[in-house]
Amino acid sequence: MNPRVSTGLIVKLRPAGPWRSGPDSGARNRVDPIYHSDSLFAAVTAAMSTLGMRDAWLDATARHPEGPVVRFSSCFPFQGETAFIVPPRSIWPPIAQVSAARTRWKSARFIPLPLVASMLGGQPPHEGEWTVDGASECLLPAGQLGPFRANVRWSAAIDRLTGNAERHSAGCIEFRRDAGLWAIVSFSGEDAHASWSEPVRGALRLLADSGFGGERSRGWGRSAQPEFTEGSLPDLILPAAPAQEPTETVSGADSPALPYPEGTHPSPPQEPSEPHAATTQHWLLSLFTPGPDDAVDWKRGNYTVLARGGRIDSPAGFGERKKQLQMVTEGSVLVAGDSIRGAAPDVAPDGFAHAVFRAGFALSVPLPAQVTA
């Protein structure tokens, strides 16, 4: 999220059945509990095409020379009034408690959003008040059930001529009645909000009817009509805090400078030989691909990367493989200047009829300067 303050929109989706977001491995019987920001951008782009706004949408986002006027976070779970989030890697797990704690903090992929603000304020979670739900990897108040679980559902393709049947399975996410997914939409300014708020809402309503993710032909990925809450970012995520003097260094980098390796390889922090210019710690709520103008200090911060691939859904070549791209993951904390933009590389195979953009635009929240990794 690249100005410091921008107009934001919280979107809540209440699934009407199973959802499928394929894992990085491509395994049919597995599922990823995060519907990533690049997939959400692709889904909205497909909906914009149906609405007759595809070219205008791409001109305002993937093809906009000054960066997109609309950005998306990834979709995270919620239950009741509690929104869960991938916490900043610089504060999670609570290191001071890991060695002696019975709660397996490291096993929690998602934690309640209010807990992030508490930890940034110096109040770590207390042992005995929390439990990690193994099915959803959510940190929950002790005794509470998780918002979803992964399951495998079976189907059979039947040959009408011979009567032969072939069984196959697909992994899916099944949500509790009061649970679902939520995401953030960020507009670059009032003009962008005025131009694109209603089209984005319309695209999300269309997708709620037609479905997100895989197995849409089976009715998966659908939801009730989206619920929208407007406000200012980053206040919708973290309340405003008093300005603090910046710290000199941020230690604990998990990856060397780009190009990215596969997986993560912890390395000791390196002391700068010269004083750093003013920097900000950016907590990523989306996947991120650095653009040419993003001055990220890859020797600092705390981040991981993953490889994103997949297949093309286009009449010009349905099912062809996209080029694989390494992206920085949600929850990563990057040290950079006042803003980071990101990029949307073309991942279409060589010679393909048109560009296929992989949205790596950063939607991030600046962390208080005293927080260290």
What pLDDT is recorded for position 52?
96
Residue linked to tokens 């960066």: 67
What pLDDT is recorded for position 296?
94
Name beta bridge partners: 321: 311
> pLDDT 10s per residue in the chain (373 long)?
444 567 899 999 999 999 998 777 667 778 889 999 999 999 999 999 999 999 999 999 999 999 999 999 999 999 999 999 999 999 999 876 554 557 789 899 999 999 999 999 888 888 888 999 999 999 999 888 999 999 988 777 777 777 777 777 788 999 999 999 999 999 999 999 999 999 999 999 999 999 999 888 888 999 999 999 999 999 999 876 544 454 444 433 443 334 343 444 344 444 444 445 568 999 999 999 999 999 999 999 999 999 998 888 877 778 888 999 999 999 999 999 888 999 999 999 998 888 899 999 999 999 987 544 4
What pLDDT is recorded for position 7?
87
End-to-end Cα separation, the chain, in angstroms? 21
- H or E segment at 77? strand 76-79
Give the separation between CA 286 and CA 364, rounded to whole angstroms. Answer: 7
What pLDDT is recorded for position 111?
96
Determine contact, residues 93/108, Cβ cutoff 8 Å.
yes
CA-angle at 204, arms to 360 and 323, nearest 5°: 30
Backbone angles phi, psi at 228, to 5 degrees: -120, 140
What pLDDT is recorded for position 2?
45
The DSSP secondary-structure symbol of 332 reads -
What pLDDT is recorded for position 311?
82
What pLDDT is recorded for position 274?
47
Give the separation between CA 268 and CA 252, rounded to whole angstroms. Answer: 7
Give the separation between CA 57 and CA 312, rounded to whole angstroms. Answer: 19
Structural domain spans, the chain:
1-80+178-236, 241-373
Give the separation between CA 211 and CA 9, rounded to whole angstroms. Answer: 20
165-175 and 6-13 strand pairing: unpaired
Whole-prediction pTM value?
Answer: 0.84
What pLDDT is recorded for position 97?
54
Residue linked to tokens 């998780």: 146
What pLDDT is recorded for position 142?
87
Residue linked to tokens 């996410």: 173
What pLDDT is recorded for position 94?
87
The DSSP secondary-structure symbol of 163 reads -
Q: What is the CATH number of domain 1-80+178-236?
A: 3.30.70
Helix axes 190-210, 37-50, angle to 10 degrees: 90
Determine contact, residues 109/86, Cβ cutoff 8 Å.
yes
